[in-house]
Amino acid sequence: MIGRKKFILVCCILSLIGRSVFAQQNTQFSQWNWHQFPLNPAHAGIKSYMEIHCLYRLQWVGFDGAPRSGFIGLSAPLYAKRKKYLSARHGLGFRMESDRIGQFNTTRFNLAYAGHFNFTKDTRLSLGLYGGLMQFGYDPSGSTTNSPDPTVMKESSAILPDASFGAWWNGENYYIGLVCDNLLASRWDDLGSDSRQRFHTSLTASYRMQINSVLTFLPAVMVKIPPKGKVSADVLGVLNYRNLIDFGLGFRTGDAIIAQFGIKVTSRFALFYSYDAGISAFRSNHSGSHEISIVFNNGIQANGPGTKCPMF
């Protein structure tokens, strides 16, 4: 017989991708404020050096079949000589994302292109696209039923097209981002006639406030808008010391308190960790969620040697 916890989890997943409930389907990350490119294709090549992001998330520790997620993303500018001051720049990128929940797994492989258009020296509009493939899989191994059930025990896999759109507007001390995921609404017919990825929208924004010569405060918010489910928001406040150490605290509405820590180990390498402490009625079934990530950049700018990485 399927374990009670696994049974509850499978029922939740089926309701997420089935006919009657249209809730949040996309992978959830707490460190979105430090990893813009893997979430928003408009960030491809936005900085003047190559950057690699890697993240692993272990969610709901202690809960059988809980989500395990991660990504690796590479972003680089195209070194094209500008024809005139403030003319457009371009960037390319690659992202691989994996998300496993119980016996379900999703893997995305995407290429990204973005154009960056300066309106003044400090204001910029970036537009980007992700395009690629998404693999859905269901592995029934390890599950048993009281009586043979071909629906539960049938292994399934599908490879489907995947696309997302991103927009980004920033000045010297602020940014606003928009991401539209699952543009193609890909179907997974093995699970049902109406099992598909639904169009999702998310909005991000942040403002940098200089407290003194060594401290900077960065409030940030992400609003996630599923097709018919509840709108949710992550609200964060990050204190940065000399562009070397970050301390962050925030919350996800109705779900968790988020604590973050980041350190720039060298000018080219940074390490980040975050912990989510559950506050929902589900919190008694797990002991929180952990995320760890690294960022590496080659520190080589298009117009000369490397400099300190900009915050935005």
Q: How far apart are CA 274 and CA 292, in angstroms?
A: 7
The identity of residue 309, as a single letter, is C
Instruction: Give me the torsion for CA of 77, 159, 192, 198, rounded to 10°.
Output: 10
Q: How far apart are CA 292 and CA 191, in angstroms?
A: 33
Q: How far apart are CA 57 and CA 280, in angstroms?
A: 19
What is the mean pLDDT, run by run of 10 residues, along the chain of 312 residues? 44 41 64 95 94 94 85 91 76 95 89 94 94 86 61 74 96 96 76 67 96 96 88 96 96 94 95 93 80 91 40 47
Q: What is the pLDDT of residue 116?
A: 94
Q: What is the pLDDT of residue 200?
A: 87
Other beta carbons within 10 Å of 70: 20
Q: Helix, strand or coil for residue 278? A: strand
Tokens of 150: 């071909």
SS3 content of the chain, % helix, strand, coil (to 5): 10, 50, 40
Q: What is the pLDDT of residue 195?
A: 63
What is the SS3 string spanning 10-37?
HHHHHHHHCCCCCCCCCCCCCCHHHCCC
Q: Helix, strand or coil for residue 152? A: helix
Structural domain boundaries in the chain: 4-261+275-297
Looking at the domain 4-261+275-297, which fold is it? Porin (2.40.160)
- Name the nearest CA neighbour of 302 among 95, 125, 137, 90: 90
